[in-house]
Amino acid sequence: MPYRALIDFNNSKGSNELKDILKQDIFSYPKPTDLLQFVLDLIPNKEINVLDFFAGSGTTLHATMLQNKKDGGKRSCTLITNNENNICEEVTYARNKAVIEGFKTRRGKLVKGLEGNQLKYFKVRVKK
């Protein structure tokens, strides 16, 4: 199991990742993808189902797709959020759609999409 001599995960990296994808400062303190990839790498089973009940900016799904690409894993990931302030539609979904399809960063660098992934969005309505 690989270990890092020095682990340096900070939220400014997560903020910059998100700004590069969405081109706006819309979410405070997202986790960096490399933090979640580090955690996923600690789990020997590469076919787990990852569940994130507090999806926020969607870092968990993004990191899961990156880790699958890196090590050939077949992890799946389910995100759940209450869509407060339209976060699911404007941040979580938008981020991961761009990551799958590919995007251009704020500085104009083209980032190839993480092809072969699926993104499905379900909205639960509560009858009153």
**Confidence bin at 8 (pLDDT 50/70/90):** low
pLDDT in tens, 58-117: 999 999 999 999 999 999 999 999 888 999 999 999 999 999 999 999 999 999 999 999
Q: Say if residue 1's pLDDT is above 60.
A: no
**φ, ψ dihedrals at 40, nearest 5°:** -60, -35
> What integer pLDDT is reported at residue 36 of this predicted model?
95
Q: Considering the entire predicted model, what is its pTM?
A: 0.90
pLDDT in tens, 114-128: 999 999 999 888 888
Q: Helix (H) and strand (E) counts for the chain?
A: 5, 4
> What integer pLDDT is reported at residue 7 of this predicted model?
58
